[in-house]
Structure 1
Amino acid sequence: MSRNSLESWQQLEAMAVAIDGQSIKHFFAQDPERFSKYHIPGNGLLFDYSKNRLSDDIKKTLLQLAEDCEVERWRDAMFNGDKINRTEGRSVLHTALRSKHCPDEGINRQVQQELEHIASFSTRLRAGKLQGYSGLAITDVVCLGVGGSNLGPEMITDALPAQPADLLNMHYISSVDAVPLETLLAGLNAETTLFIISSKTFTTTETLLNAEAGKRWLLSRAPASAVAKHFVAVTEDVEKALSFGVALAYCFKIWDWVGGRFSLWSAIGLPIAIARGFDTFESLLQGAGAMDDHFRSAPIEQNMPMMMALIGVWNSTFLNIDTLAILPYDQNLHHLPAYLQQAEMESNGKSVNWRGEALTYKTCPILWGQTGINGQHAFYQLLHQGTHEVAADFIASANSYGKSEIHHET
């Protein structure tokens, strides 16, 4: 049965027509205590969805739609390792990277072994115990990747401010424009520079182009044997990495059941462990695992990811709000909009269903945005006074890493 032939779907279409023209102010006037009903706390987060054009009846029907579409069954199938990626015939098990819920003990062992490898390598590198070809300690790490192999690690590295022990300089290159890489390398020392090539297949055109350029730069200053001490690979195809010249001990594994946009919790996150320490990376995994537990066990109406998804479907598919602005009020999260663009739009930006049938409804908003303060002095006038309907996610940090309380309160 097509999704839009469901009774709950058709009811939501009618409800969307019925509230056309009503503002959020109208809903608060009808129910000033909306926040008490329309928020979910948990895992150090607070999800407030009271500022959406939503009523009790609409929420009830959205929950019915989730039941009609068997969302919980599909969630459980994902955690169980079923091959829910029908296009490629693969499991979707990025959750196994950050918890031990995977029923396949072999996968759990592989994940643990790779974590131990990440811990050992990152700890030694941060302590200056991994030297370059001349015996000098590494000072700069150039991370080469694109898409999920770059967006996640760079976002997290910037989100977590440096501590006194974080002495390595991290650099992220994804563009095939030669200028960023050439400009960076002009200021680096080949004896103290390490490259990380992050490519699942080790064939990604943009990444390999930059990797070859880095290799030429190194070999113009060092002997051929230097490659083994200055290049790291995160890939599923270890043989290709070895052919490039990467030493086996410098090869890190990623598996076909890890999607690129969900890969920062795998060895793709090696730059995070290098930049901020393995303990911090492990804490990141634990936080994601805690949210997985919540997602897996909480009833839908109290389930943060579930309700976020349903609100997104309501706004985009039924209210025809075509865009979603991601507005973090925390400078450390300035890469979050770009990261979420891929996570949402690459996942849900589809024109056919898994049967190959053409879809007649919208599946995903266009995500965009930047830090809120900059946005306030750029595009907020359109949000306030323009004729476009734009959904907006405001993301605020309760506590700032900054020392000035005045700045944070402002």
Structure 2
Amino acid sequence: MTSPIDATTTPAWTDLTALRKSFSPDLRGWFAADPERVESLTFDLADLRVDLSKNLVTAEIRSALVRLAEQTGVAERFAAMLAGEHINTTEDRAVLHTALRRPADASPALVVDGQEVDHDAHAVLDVLSAFADRVRSGDWRGATGKKVTHVVNIGIGGSDLGPVMVYEALKPYADAGIQARFVSNIDPTDIAQKTADLDPETTLFVVASKTFTTLETLTNARLARDWLWERLAAAGVDVATEETRTEAVSHHFVAVSTALDKVAAFGIDPANAFGFWDWVGGRYSVDSA
């Protein structure tokens, strides 16, 4: 892959700069003057139909933007991304959020830095899906045998904002029997408020931290664990020994992490730790590196 091209040095950039100086937006006027505007600015791209006609763009501007993409090698860099080349030059990493949407039997198989990406990604996705089904169906039970009614996600940054966005967007289609809450603020008031009315016997915590060392996340996870033990004890559940406390945690905590030793030390069964990879950047995935 060639080095990035400075867009401002290209002829297309010069053309766009000139167009900007003479640009006078008039959407109604454009439609009145050009009966073919919708047709000329509408395109089919795979499963998408893209209509640019209602945007402040003309055919001339569109053509200049296409030339800019061509002159800066956008298509080449897109192909490099899909192939797993290290286009994240700052951290010397591949950028493969797209791999999480590849079919399991995609051909040719994607192998990056010795990792069979398709196989590994779908192995985790399958485990995640099976776990979600267990929680929804009631097969996953808390320490006292009760079904989960509330899930509390503990994370920060991309491991908080992404889940919040997805939950709020898809709430109308969610299982009405399970509600989610989100904790990211290291101020203990946040988690205290989010758990104040919860039943420890029906609450499941998801701790999202790749290294399982993130200060804010681990601080809140420990507070959640203390809350669980205290509330279970108040309900008459035996959490007096290290063994019974660890057993309780294994029923009420799962992790999104690859640091299985730290996950286990916290009390979470490593079998209930769902991994992810540094080639999925935070801005591209709900839980990511």
Fold conserved between structures, TM > 0.5: yes
Matches within 5 A, 1:108-187: 108-162=118-172, 166-187=176-197
Equivalent pair of 1:235/1:251 in contact (CA under 8 Å): yes
Letter in 1 for 2:162: G
After TM superposition, give the deviation of residue 195 of structure 1 in Å: 0.3
Matched residue, 1:83 = 86
**Deviation string for 1:58-90 (max 9, x for gaps)?**
211111110000000000000000011000010
Matched residue, 1:50 = 53
- SS for the counterpart of 2:98 is helix
Alpha-carbon distance between aligned partners in 1 of 2:67 and 2:174, rounded to the nearest angstrom: 51
Matched residue, 1:234 = 256
Matched residue, 2:282 = 260
Matched residue, 2:22 = 18
Alpha-carbon distance between aligned partners in 2 of 1:229 and 1:206, rounded to the nearest angstrom: 23
- SS for the counterpart of 2:18 is helix
Q: 1:79 to 1:137 in 2, by over 3 A?
A: same
Matched residue, 1:211 = 221
Equivalent pair of 2:135/2:148 in contact (CA under 8 Å): yes
Q: Which has the larger radius of gyration?
A: 2
**1:4 to 2:8 alignment:** yes
Matches within 5 A, 1:240-251: 240-251=262-273
**1:103 to 2:114 alignment:** no
Equivalent pair of 1:39/1:49 in contact (CA under 8 Å): yes
Equivalent pair of 2:150/2:180 in contact (CA under 8 Å): yes
**Deviation string for 1:338-365 (max 9, x for gaps)?**
xxxxxxxxxxxxxxxxxxxxxxxxxxxx
Equivalent pair of 2:149/2:179 in contact (CA under 8 Å): yes
After TM superposition, give the deviation of residue 161 of structure 1 in Å: 4.1
After TM superposition, give the deviation of residue 154 of structure 1 in Å: 2.4
After TM superposition, give the deviation of residue 204 of structure 1 in Å: 2.7
Q: 1:197 to 1:65 in 2, by over 3 A?
A: same
Alpha-carbon distance between aligned partners in 1 of 2:87 and 2:174, rounded to the nearest angstrom: 44
Equivalent pair of 2:87/2:95 in contact (CA under 8 Å): yes
Structure 1: state its 5+ residue gaps: 270-410
In terms of mean alpha carbon deviation, does 209-218 or 173-182 score higher?
173-182
In terms of mean alpha carbon deviation, does 224-233 or 40-49 score higher?
40-49
After TM superposition, give the deviation of residue 181 of structure 1 in Å: 2.1
**Deviation string for 1:303-336 (max 9, x for gaps)?**
xxxxxxxxxxxxxxxxxxxxxxxxxxxxxxxxxx
Equivalent pair of 2:81/2:94 in contact (CA under 8 Å): yes
After TM superposition, give the deviation of residue 25 of structure 1 in Å: 3.1
Alpha-carbon distance between aligned partners in 1 of 2:6 and 2:194, rounded to the nearest angstrom: 52
Alpha-carbon distance between aligned partners in 2 of 1:135 and 1:158, rounded to the nearest angstrom: 29
Matched residue, 1:66 = 69
Matches within 5 A, 1:300-379: none
- SS for the counterpart of 2:50 is strand
Alpha-carbon distance between aligned partners in 1 of 2:186 and 2:175, rounded to the nearest angstrom: 32
Alpha-carbon distance between aligned partners in 2 of 1:16 and 1:206, rounded to the nearest angstrom: 46
Alpha-carbon distance between aligned partners in 1 of 2:82 and 2:189, rounded to the nearest angstrom: 43
Q: 1:70 to 1:42 in 2, by over 3 A?
A: closer
Matched residue, 2:242 = none
Matched residue, 1:283 = none
Of 28, 34, 50, 1:31 maps to: 34
Alpha-carbon distance between aligned partners in 2 of 1:12 and 1:165, rounded to the nearest angstrom: 49
- SS for the counterpart of 1:220 is helix
**Deviation string for 1:1-41 (max 9, x for gaps)?**
6321211111111110011x443334334324322222335
Q: What is the percent sequence identity of the aligned residues?
A: 37
Matched residue, 2:97 = 94
Structure 1 length-normalised TM = 0.60
**Deviation string for 1:375-395 (max 9, x for gaps)?**
xxxxxxxxxxxxxxxxxxxxx
Alpha-carbon distance between aligned partners in 2 of 1:90 and 1:132, rounded to the nearest angstrom: 39
Alpha-carbon distance between aligned partners in 2 of 1:136 and 1:55, rounded to the nearest angstrom: 60
Letter in 2 for 1:65: L
Matches within 5 A, 1:397-408: none
Structure 2 length-normalised TM = 0.83
Structure 2: state its 5+ residue gaps: 233-238, 240-244
Matched residue, 1:190 = 200
Matches within 5 A, 1:278-297: none
- SS for the counterpart of 2:116 is helix
After TM superposition, give the deviation of residue 103 of structure 1 in Å: 1.8
Equivalent pair of 2:41/2:53 in contact (CA under 8 Å): yes
Q: 1:5 to 1:51 in 2, by over 3 A?
A: same
